[in-house]
């Protein structure tokens, strides 16, 4: 166990970003039947960490490319943890005993399938884009059928809002209805919105790596009607902000993975925009995904240190656990229906599970 180091940084002012809403022109969607494959994944041995037990599952080869390289992850339908794949034209799901389903969602272009999220009607949505970066799409998987809605920009992250699914892309945040109607809100040209989460106030909150005359990390919120407010993050090295989640304290918690000065931080933002930053014990850790977990704790990945971090509250403490080999660089993270922590390991085509004691 590493020694805890806490640093509280004064909050900077807020920035209100103007944005204009406009209905996006929707190209003709395409639909096809998803081909499913079922497999029992091969797992490595269970290895204890002192606080919990790690287990890793090999992701079967994707239909198109072999190595799937799993990316974004979320708890979804049928109490399975779902994840997108960087290669292979498929999204996958895994249950608590390691049984993996491969859902083919692209028949022709070999889309990069990045993030996934469950809708209120218990169907799955995902973001994807063409390998050459020429265009993107939002996908919908329902009852074995896949519908692809082409987009003018490359969408990255997706989340369920109050009535619609919301997704982010370079200086855009959009919402899409269950029938595929899209409304896009244009942010500042220098904005790069990242991960999204539905906040307890009914707004969608997001991270923003703002690259203007100076680089800034920001936490933003967008109302259902498209009004955007952003708060500047007082991080020690601006840039690198990515993951965000709602904590057990009803505040927004986020990862700030910039390692220019060797500093990685976890941030907490209240609904009124008051931000407090905490250093991770390990330098150059590159925190990425973050999720609320069991026992009112939060968990996050450290892609630069091959570790899972744990944040306990009242007072805030950060503890890190080394993920055993063959893992390298865990990426996204989610709480499973079994109350265990699940995470993607794209470099070696694995899904990790952290069962806390």
What's the DSSP call for residue 97? T
Under the banding of pLDDT at 50, 70 and 90, the label for residue 104 is confident
Q: How do the domains of the chain map onto residue ranges? A: 14-356
The topology under which CATH files domain 14-356 is Methylamine Dehydrogenase; Chain H (2.130.10)
Rounded Cα gap, residues 103 and 77, in angstroms: 13
Rounded Cα gap, residues 65 and 88, in angstroms: 5
pLDDT on residue 45:
57
Tens of pLDDT, residues 202-253: 999 999 999 988 889 999 999 999 999 999 999 988 888 999 999 999 999 9
pLDDT on residue 182:
95
Residue written as token pair 């931000």 = 275
- Nearest alpha carbon to residue 59 among 270, 302, 293, 346: 346
What's the DSSP call for residue 313? T
pLDDT on residue 56:
92
Residue written as token pair 């608590």 = 96
Is residue 307 helix, strand or coil? strand
Q: Is the pLDDT of residue 8 over 50?
A: no
pLDDT on residue 87:
80
> Full-prediction pTM beyond 0.85?
yes
Looking at per-residue confidence, does 335 or 32 come out higher? 335
Alpha-helical (H) ranges within 170-273 are none
Q: In the Cβ-directed half-sphere of 53, how many Cα atoms lie within 13 Å? A: 7
Tens of pLDDT, residues 64-76: 556 788 999 999 9
Asked whether 239 and 247 are in contact (CB, 8 A), the reply is: no
Q: Is the pLDDT of residue 292 over 90?
A: yes
Tens of pLDDT, residues 176-207: 999 999 999 999 999 999 999 999 999 999 99
Q: In what order do the strands lie in the sheet with 14-15?
A: 14-15, 228-232, 215-222, 204-211, 193-198
* Cα→Cα distances 264→3, 9, 59, 73, 320, Å: 15, 14, 29, 22, 13
Determine what percent of the chain is predicted with pLDDT higher than 90: 63
- Over the range 104-127, which residues count as b (16 or more CB within 10 Å of their CB) and which as e? bbbbebbbbbbbbbbbeeebbbbb
Q: Give the mean model confidence (pLDDT) for residues 45-60.
A: 80
């Amino acid at each position: 166990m590493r020694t805890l180091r806490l640093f509280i940084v004064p909050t900077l002012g807020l920035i209100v970003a103007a944005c204009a809403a406009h209905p996006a022109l929707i190209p003709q969607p395409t639909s096809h039947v998803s081909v499913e494959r079922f497999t029992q994944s091969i797992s490595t041995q269970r290895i204890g960490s002192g606080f919990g037990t790690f287990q890793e599952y090999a992701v079967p080869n994707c239909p198109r490319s072999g190595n799937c390289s799993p990316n974004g992850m979320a708890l979804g339908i049928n109490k399975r943890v779902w994840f997108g794949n960087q290669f292979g034209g498929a999204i996958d799901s895994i249950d608590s005993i390691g049984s993996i389903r491969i859902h083919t969602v692209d028949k022709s272009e070999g889309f990069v399938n990045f993030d996934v999220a469950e809708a209120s009607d218990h169907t799955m949505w995902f973001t994807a884009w063409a390998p050459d970066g020429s265009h993107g799409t939002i996908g919908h998987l329902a009852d074995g059928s896949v519908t692809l809605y082409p987009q003018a920009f490359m969408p990255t992250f997706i989340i369920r809002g109050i009535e619609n699914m919301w997704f982010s892309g370079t200086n855009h945040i959009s919402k899409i209805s269950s029938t595929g109607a899209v409304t896009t809100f244009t942010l500042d040209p220098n904005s790069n919105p990242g991960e999204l989460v539905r906040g307890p106030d009914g707004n969608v909150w997001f991270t923003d790596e703002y690259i203007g005359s100076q680089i800034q990390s920001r936490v933003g919120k967008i109302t259902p009607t498209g009004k955007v407010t952003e708060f500047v993050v007082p991080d020690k090295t601006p840039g690198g902000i990515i993951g965000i989640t709602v904590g057990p304290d009803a505040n927004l918690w986020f990862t700030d993975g910039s390692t220019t000065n060797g500093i990685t931080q976890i941030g907490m933002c209240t609904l009124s925009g008051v931000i407090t930053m905490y250093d991770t014990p390990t330098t150059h850790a590159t925190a990425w995904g973050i999720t609320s977990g069991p026992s009112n704790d939060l968990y996050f990945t450290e892609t630069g240190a091959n570790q899972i971090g744990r944040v306990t509250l009242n007072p805030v403490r950060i503890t890190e656990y080394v993920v055993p080999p063959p893992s390298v660089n865990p990426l996204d993270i989610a709480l499973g229906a079994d109350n265990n922590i699940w995470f993607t390991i794209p470099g070696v085509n694995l899904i990790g599970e952290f069962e806390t004691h």
